[in-house]
Amino acid sequence: MSMSCMQIALAADPDPLVDIPAGLTSFTLRDIFTNGDVSVGPGGTRATVNVNIFPAMESQSLTYTQFRMKPCGVNLPHTHPRASEMLTLVSGGPLQVGFVDTEGERHIDILYPGDVTIFPRGLLHFELNVGKITALYISALNSQNPGVLTAAGALLNIPTRALATSLNSTIQEVQELEQNMLVYGSNLEMPPPSVCTPGQDITTDF
């Protein structure tokens, strides 16, 4: 049983058996923000390319996303259960980014154009544009199906009593959180002005 569980935990995308899929003639996708999987939220736009949209990615163990994040836009804390992620800030920002490891230690940094960071596989991470300019950044993940689990959306789907105990809160406080939660999805979000002011508090501590 333990060996079976270990095999599942260590599973990854299979190695490719051929160079390219049979019959494939195109290896370029034009204009990702038109032809990708595009989602538009209050905090900006994301465009993802995966094997379903771009067949040339078949068996390459890749998912690729470009972001145009408005000032104070946030990619809500989330995990990718089946992939590590590398992120590059191309222009704009800066971005506050970071993750929390399995020891409960947080690793937060400020990215400027040209900077690269990594989010290890399965760890909770986020991005927030703390600058005054729209941030264009790129994310590459090492799986065709990395999965996305949004922290707040998942947490608030836990039954109320268990959640209240986890948060050291009352049932009423948890119910208020549940009523006010954002829609469980992948859109970039925008906090109220009282939470974030573009260009202020460019720090890792807030």
User: Which residues of the chain carry a pLDDT beneath 70?
Assistant: 1-11, 17, 184
* pLDDT tens readout for residues 88-119: 999 999 999 999 999 999 999 999 999 999 99
Known binding site for oxalate: residues? 75, 80, 85
Question: Residue 1: what pLDDT?
Answer: 44
Known binding site for Mn(2+): residues? 78, 80, 85, 125
Question: Residue 67: what pLDDT?
Answer: 98
Answer positive or negative: Cα dihedral of 38, 40, 43, 44: positive
Question: Residue 5: what pLDDT?
Answer: 40
Known binding site: residues? 75, 78, 80, 85, 125
Question: Residue 16: what pLDDT?
Answer: 72
Burial (0-12, 13-18, 19+ Cβ within 10 Å), 80? buried
* pLDDT tens readout for residues 8-23: 444 678 777 677 778 8
Q: How far apart are the first and last CA of the chain?
A: 44
Burial (0-12, 13-18, 19+ Cβ within 10 Å), 85? buried
Q: Which CATH number does 27-148+190-206 carry?
A: 2.60.120.10
Domain boundaries, the chain: 27-148+190-206, 150-185
